[in-house]
C-alpha cells in the first residue's frame, strides 16, 4: 500500500510538471498571458479596477488572485483594486435566491464595473454558466473580458476578449497551471508598475 501511495505521488508530480513544461512552447498561451498582463497593467495605471470570479476551486483561485493584488505579491507598494465576485456570501446567496445562481456574477458586474475595467473569469471547463453570463454582461457594458480556462476553452473561450486556455481535460492539472499563471501575472504587474522609478499606478 505504501509503495502504491508513493507511486501515485510521483506520478501526479510528473504529470503536473509535464503539463507546465509543454506550455513553455505553447506560443498561443504565452502570447495571451502577455496580452492579459498588458491589459491589466494599462487598466490599473489608468485608475481602473479588476473583477475576478469562478466556482469551487476556481473561486478560491479568484480570491487568491485578488489577495495578491490588493495586498502584495513580492514588492512593497500601494494596493491595487480587485473585486472577487465570489467572496461575499450575503451577496451570492441573496442574488442566487432572488434571481438564480446563474446570475450571481452578472448582477455584480452590472453593479461594480465600468468601461475601462476588466473582468477575469476562471473556469476549468470553459462552460460555467454564471461566469459566461458575467462575461456577456461585461461585454454589453464595454468592459474588457478575459478568462483562465481548461479543455478547449468551451463557450467562455469563444466569448471573452482574451482566452487563456490550458489544453488539458483533468480539472486538478488545469487548476495547478491556473495558480501558476496567476502568480506570473502578479509578478508581471509588479515588475511593470513598480519599476526603478516607483509605482506608476494612480492613487
Q: pLDDT tens digit string along 135-164?
A: 999 999 999 999 999 999 999 999 999 999
What is the rounded average pLDDT of the residues 57-86?
A: 97
pLDDT, averaged across the chain = 95
- What domains lie within the chain, and their CATH numbers? 27-199 (3.40.50.10490)
- pLDDT (tens digit per residue) in 46-65: 999 999 999 999 999 999 99
Is the pLDDT at 185 greater than 90? The verdict is: yes
Question: Could you tell me where the DSSP H helices lie in 50-148?
Answer: 57-70, 89-98, 106-112, 129-140
Give the span between the Cα atoms of 198 and 202, in whole angstroms.
12
Given its phi and psi angles, is residue 142 left (phi above 0), alpha (psi -120 to 50 degrees) or beta?
left
Q: What is the mean pLDDT of residues 75-86?
A: 96
Does the pTM surpass 0.85? The reply is yes
Q: pLDDT by residue (tens digit) across 85-101?
A: 999 999 999 999 999 99
Q: For the ranges 39-48, 79-88, 191-200, which has the lowest average pLDDT?
A: 191-200
Amino acid at each position: 500500500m505504501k509503495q502504491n501511495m508513493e507511486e501515485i505521488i510521483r506520478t501526479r508530480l510528473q504529470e503536473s510538471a509535464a503539463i507546465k513544461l509543454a506550455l513553455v512552447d505553447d506560443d498561443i498561451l504565452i502570447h495571451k498571458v502577455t496580452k492579459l498582463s498588458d491589459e491589466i497593467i494599462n487598466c490599473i495605471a489608468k485608475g481602473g479596477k479588476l473583477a475576478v470570479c469562478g466556482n469551487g476551486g476556481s473561486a478560491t483561485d479568484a480570491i487568491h488572485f485578488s489577495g495578491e493584488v490588493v495586498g502584495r505579491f513580492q514588492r512593497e507598494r500601494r494596493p491595487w483594486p480587485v473585486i472577487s465576485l465570489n467572496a461575499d456570501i450575503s451577496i451570492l446567496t441573496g442574488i442566487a435566491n432572488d434571481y438564480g445562481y446563474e446570475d450571481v456574477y452578472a448582477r455584480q458586474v452590472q453593479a461594480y464595473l465600468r468601461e475601462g475595467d476588466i473582468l477575469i473569469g476562471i473556469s476549468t471547463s470553459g462552460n460555467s454558466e454564471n461566469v459566461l453570463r458575467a462575461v456577456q454582461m461585461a461585454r454589453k457594458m464595454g468592459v474588457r473580458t478575459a478568462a483562465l480556462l481548461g479543455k478547449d476553452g468551451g463557450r467562455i473561450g469563444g466569448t471573452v476578449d482574451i482566452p487563456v486556455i490550458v489544453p488539458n481535460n483533468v480539472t486538478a492539472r488545469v487548476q495547478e497551471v491556473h495558480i501558476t499563471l496567476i502568480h506570473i501575472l502578479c509578478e508581471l504587474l509588479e515588475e511593470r508598475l513598480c519599476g526603478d522609478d516607483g509605482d506608476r499606478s494612480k492613487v
